[in-house]
Structure 1
Amino acid sequence: MKKIVCIIILMFSLVAYSQEVNKLFAEGNTFYKEENYTRAVGVYLAIEEQGMESDDLYFNIANCYYKMNKVAPAIYYYEKALKVNPANADAKANLAFAKRMTIDVIEELPKTFLQRFSANIIQKLPFDTWAIMAVIASFLASLLFLLYYFSTSSTKKLFYFNTSIFAVFIMIVTVFFAYNNFKTVQKDRVAIIFSPKVEIMNAPSASSDEIFELHEGTKVIVLDKLDNWKKIKIADGKTGWIYADALKEI
């Protein structure tokens, strides 16, 4: 009986929480329509602080910062929206506009065929979406195999056998894509430079030599960390050390 009561209380709490979040989101949208971007972003950030993760929420936060000409947080939240949902076309388009506000012009290294395939196919969907597709394919494969096993018609047996093999193939591919996507997300610690200008050093020390400098809004990959320093890599392959407070990981 106590378990049932706890479940009911939990359900009512979740419903109340959802209603509160929806109310705040609508309030933020109202402020945004009134072009009161400071208050709008405050409401959206309050939702984020409650543990809400949504590409729509991050997209709206990014739009507010973009309207306020704050390039680093705008790019940061567009990237967060795309991390949650790589297929968000609006976030991708607005990110391209936001990047035009940055100072640094960095030429990317040429990508290999496998890197292009990963970026254009595997990374287009979140790893949990690929995992769901794998589960569906495994269910279909099992169902088709049972239909093959119990079918008495040779024509139907051939059809069910071939389609079950195809479903198994799809399952294997989607499992591989889900694993590859997950490993890529875990490995690539992406961050955005928040300092207006920051020197990149050749060693994690203030007395080391400066090798180049970066400006706010630039996207980097975090490779390592030592005390208050982080080793980063930029799109053209250059690496160096930066104060940890100068950037924010996505």
Structure 2
Amino acid sequence: MKQVLYIAVFLLSGLGFSQNMTLFEQGNALYNDGKYEDAINKYQAILETEVHSAELYFNLGNAHYKLNNIAPSIYYYEKALQLKPNDTEIINNLNFAKNMTLDAIDVIPEVGMSKVLNNVSSALSFDMWAILSVCFVILAVAMFMNYIMSEGTKTKRFSFSLAFASLFLMAGSLVSAFHKYNLDKLDNPAIVFAQETKVKSEPNLRSEEAFRLHEGTKVQVLDTVENWKKIKLTDGKMGWILAEDIKLLNRF
């Protein structure tokens, strides 16, 4: 019975893959013919099957860009970049789309140890830092055992030094791992989809207007109160925006 179930699941997944490939090819053909709305519909049909890929999001971004849909084009380029962080083509197209936005927001540069720690921690994923920590522990134990069992002075000195260095690197890896975890946990970006929205000083319509944002601007979501989101900009400004005016990037 289990074998029949496995075969059925395999066949269904294969059928779904085939259908999505057909939709993707149809979408590409429509895009090449300049039928961008129709292409978007084909790509969206794939997303509705819970299939995600950088190529799919990239093509969606391109189609929306051709239609001058600022917010959707930036949103889907950002989604593609999440799956392929170092893809130069995605980065270039995203920069072109950002040039269409109205809001010019400064970026507060990181300085000092905070900048160093953030750069080091972001070099690897949390899982990779954790694996490195385990490897350094194993190396430290092996060198310590070698230190105990060795008789030569040079070998003992080398083993002790390497064991101490491994413990130091293990501690550094652990710090980087937990800092990377906290960075990822706090990273909750969103794109403004409203053509223009008023950001309030408090989460209610009667509160004072702090500033205004326009479609395509990227924000960080810090908190949620009912249908309001507390956001922060790269220049340090904060305020409350209606949840319906933004679209979160971390949701797949």
Compute the TM-score of the two structures, normalised by the length of structure 2.
0.78
- Summarize the Cα distance change of 1:29–1:174 in structure 2 as closer, same or farther, 3 Å threshold: farther
Query: 188-197 or 165-174, which moves further after superposition?
Result: 165-174
- Residue of structure 2 in register with 1:68 after alignment: 67
Deviation at 1:202, TM superposition (A): 0.7
1:154-169 alignment runs, 5 A limit: none
Q: Given that residues 86 and 126 in structure 1 are in contact (C-alpha distance below 8 angstroms), is that contact kept between their aligned partners in structure 2?
A: no
- Look up the SS of the partner of 1:61 in the other structure: helix
| CA displacement 1:112-167 (0-9 Å, x = unmatched) | 35565577665466656x47x948x95xx79xx7xxx9xxxxxxx9xxx9xx9899
- Residue of structure 2 in register with 1:154 after alignment: none
1:44-83 alignment runs, 5 A limit: 44-83=43-82
| CA displacement 1:195-233 (0-9 Å, x = unmatched) | 111111111111111111111101100111111111110
User: Hey, what's the Cα distance between the residues in 2 that align with 1:24 and 1:175?
Assistant: 45
Please provide the CA RMSD for this pair. Answer: 3.4
User: Hey, what's the Cα distance between the residues in 1 that align with 2:106 and 2:49?
Assistant: 38
- Summarize the Cα distance change of 1:53–1:15 in structure 2 as closer, same or farther, 3 Å threshold: same
- Residue of structure 1 in register with 2:149 after alignment: none
- Look up the SS of the partner of 1:225 in the other structure: strand
Q: Could you tell me which amino acid in structure 2 is paired with residue 86 of structure 1?
A: P
Q: Could you tell me which amino acid in structure 2 is paired with residue 7 of structure 1?
A: Y
Q: Could you tell me which amino acid in structure 1 is paired with residue 47 of structure 2?
A: E
Please say if 1:41 is aligned against 2:40: yes
Please say if 1:189 is aligned against 2:175: no
- Residue of structure 2 in register with 1:104 after alignment: 103
Q: Given that residues 109 and 236 in structure 1 are in contact (C-alpha distance below 8 angstroms), is that contact kept between their aligned partners in structure 2?
A: yes
- Residue of structure 2 in register with 1:84 after alignment: 83
User: Hey, what's the Cα distance between the residues in 1 that align with 2:213 and 2:125?
Assistant: 30
- Summarize the Cα distance change of 1:220–1:35 in structure 2 as closer, same or farther, 3 Å threshold: same
Identity between Structure 1 and Structure 2 (%): 37
Q: Could you tell me which amino acid in structure 2 is paired with residue 85 of structure 1?
A: K
Q: Given that residues 134 and 171 in structure 1 are in contact (C-alpha distance below 8 angstroms), is that contact kept between their aligned partners in structure 2?
A: no
State how many pairs are aligned: 238
Compute the TM-score of the two structures, normalised by the length of structure 1.
0.79
Q: Given that residues 85 and 125 in structure 1 are in contact (C-alpha distance below 8 angstroms), is that contact kept between their aligned partners in structure 2?
A: no
- Summarize the Cα distance change of 1:181–1:81 in structure 2 as closer, same or farther, 3 Å threshold: farther
Deviation at 1:173, TM superposition (A): 7.3
- Residue of structure 2 in register with 1:216 after alignment: 215
- Residue of structure 2 in register with 1:27 after alignment: 26
- Summarize the Cα distance change of 1:34–1:171 in structure 2 as closer, same or farther, 3 Å threshold: farther
User: Hey, what's the Cα distance between the residues in 2 that align with 1:238 and 1:73?
Assistant: 24
- Unaligned 5+ segments in structure 1 are 150-156
- Residue of structure 2 in register with 1:9 after alignment: 8
